[in-house]
Amino acid sequence: MGIRHMGNNVAATVKSSRLPGFYKQSLAERVAVVAEWAGLNEDERAALAGPGGLQPAQADLMIENVVGTYALPLGVAANFLINGHDYLIPMAVEEPSVLAAISNAARQIRAGGGFQAESSEPVMIGQIQVLDMPDLDAACRAVLGARAELMALADQYGESVIRYGGGARDVEARPFPDTPVGPMLVVHLLYDTRDAMGANTINTTLEAIAPRVAELTGGRVVLRILSNLADRRTATARCTIPQDALAVPDIPGRDVARLVMEANAFAVVDPYRAATHNKGIMNGIDAVCIATGNDWRAIEAGAHSYAARTGRYTALTDWHVDENGDLFGSITLPMAVGTVGGATKVHPTARAAMKLLAVESAGELARVLACVGLAQNLAAIKALATHGIQKGHMRLHARQVALAAGASEADVQAIADRLVAEGNVRVERARELIAN
């Protein structure tokens, strides 16, 4: 629990993200609870609930060739306690069971004191590719010798970032003597983007300093672009779950802890399993990125490339049983997110979601996302390692099947319940039930 600061308004009361029975409430009741939590005004409440979200005229100004808008279900994950503060997590996702699973995992993690999370400085990497140099080694020395000059030149751009304490932090030279197009030098500009994701600022800066890099190296500059492997800008989350909080019917908590550790080991050693393991992590992280208007594709690219940074694709998480028999988990991954700029400030629903989340910096958002990924992973591998993932998933998926079969809103739950009871969650069977 903790006092939350919400944008420009300070919450004077201590609030808990524990919302027992939240899923049993009506849609209108849930909206009211969330609106009160976040102090949403009527416009923000409408944006979060749907009617006041992105309008076609606004969409037409955001991208090209607009013909309309596309909606996703927007839900709220409860029970998150991170570094002593409570959060409600907005998530935009179409897949059933994600919200229920992550809220349940966060409740179990809460039993051990919640999450502990940290994030590094928001340093991104910009890359300049140089070819056709007369001497690769001499080009490296020239770039490194002009490090201060290049950083000073870079800091002439990105005025808003510089104003808030960001800017160039270092210059690196990476030689590749043997490539399909001959010797190549890749110059890295390490750039602190503060609360912005920073892609546009970095790309503009790279284009501005590229001519000087060409002069220094005597080569030809080709690409000037940021890297989505933001391994200097990471977030880490950790938790310890008491074994008793892990118990499921017929399986004691100490055995569940061991099963989770064994399931994680599968993903550590086998890239085929690791791909699905890490996809589950991104189920949660992507959904929050979409809800808040962040670039989920950049986060995906960074996470999966980071998982392969040793030359072998592996799990992003570590789960093991500690000396007390409790379950310890951790995750570290690149987290290039922003709280300013882009769709985060343009999309009405993203603005309302950010107010609900109530983070005060990109670093805080990164820490929240790491915790979301860890919780989602726990939910998935615990289910897999115990009674299987399909039982709970299919129970929630049955409503989508009933809808796809043509059930009315009034009949969806009854049809879904019948499908689950029969163990036959198929569109064809749903149609038969509707017809009868």
Kind plus residue range of the DSSP H or E element containing 105:
helix 98-110
pLDDT value at residue 152 = 97
The band of 349, judged by pLDDT with boundaries at 50, 70 and 90, is: very high
Q: Where exactly are the structural domains of the chain?
A: 2-116+235-387, 123-227, 392-435
Calculate what percentage of the chain has a pLDDT beyond 90.
82
Pick the CATH number of 2-116+235-387 from 3.90.1150.200, 3.40.50.12780, 3.40.640.10, 3.90.770.10: 3.90.770.10
List 15, 277, 393, 397, catalytic entry: 393
* Mean pLDDT of the region 28-56: 94
The band of 396, judged by pLDDT with boundaries at 50, 70 and 90, is: low
60-69: list long-range contacts, CB under 8 Å, 24+ apart.
62/343, 62/346, 62/347
Q: What is the CATH number of domain 123-227?
A: 3.30.70.420
CA separation for the pair 9, 6 (Å, rounded): 5
Active site residue 135: no
Alpha helices (H) along 218-361: 253-269, 271-291, 296-307, 343-346, 348-357
The band of 404, judged by pLDDT with boundaries at 50, 70 and 90, is: confident
Calculate what percentage of the chain has a pLDDT beyond 70.
95
pLDDT value at residue 389 = 63
CB 198 within 8 A of CB 183: no
CA angle at residue 350 from 380 to 79, to 5 degrees? 40
List 192, 195, 295, 326, catalytic entry: 295
**Residue 247 above 50 pLDDT?**
yes
pLDDT value at residue 345 = 87
Active site residue 387: no
Active site residue 279: yes
pLDDT value at residue 412 = 84
Residue type, 421: A
The band of 308, judged by pLDDT with boundaries at 50, 70 and 90, is: very high
pLDDT tens digits, 154-190:
999 989 899 999 999 999 999 999 999 999 999 999 9
CB 210 within 8 A of CB 311: no
pLDDT value at residue 394 = 67
pLDDT value at residue 330 = 98
**Residue 105 above 70 pLDDT?**
yes
CB 411 within 8 A of CB 435: no
CA separation for the pair 200, 328 (Å, rounded): 39
The band of 407, judged by pLDDT with boundaries at 50, 70 and 90, is: confident
Q: What is the CATH number of domain 392-435?
A: 1.10.8
**Each residue of 161-180: b (16+ CB within 10 Å) or e?**
bbeeebbbeebebeeeeeee
* Mean pLDDT of the region 316-336: 98
pLDDT tens digits, 416-435:
888 777 888 888 888 888 88
Residue type, 235: A
Q: Number of helices (H) and strands (E) in the chain: give both, helices first.
A: 17, 12
**Mean pLDDT, rounded, of the chain:** 93
Active site residue 345: no
* Mean pLDDT of the region 372-383: 97
List 36, 43, 95, 322, catalytic entry: 95
CA separation for the pair 393, 409 (Å, rounded): 20
351: which 2 tokens?
Answer: 């603005």
The radius of gyration computed from the CA coordinates of the chain, to the nearest angstrom, equals: 24
The band of 9, judged by pLDDT with boundaries at 50, 70 and 90, is: very low
* Mean pLDDT of the region 76-103: 96
List 279, 300, 320, 387, catalytic entry: 279
pLDDT tens digits, 16-38:
999 999 999 999 999 999 999 99
162: which 2 tokens?
Answer: 């510089």
Of 151-160, 193-202, 332-341, 419-428, the range with the lowest mean pLDDT is 419-428
SS3 214: helix
**Residue 301 above 90 pLDDT?**
yes
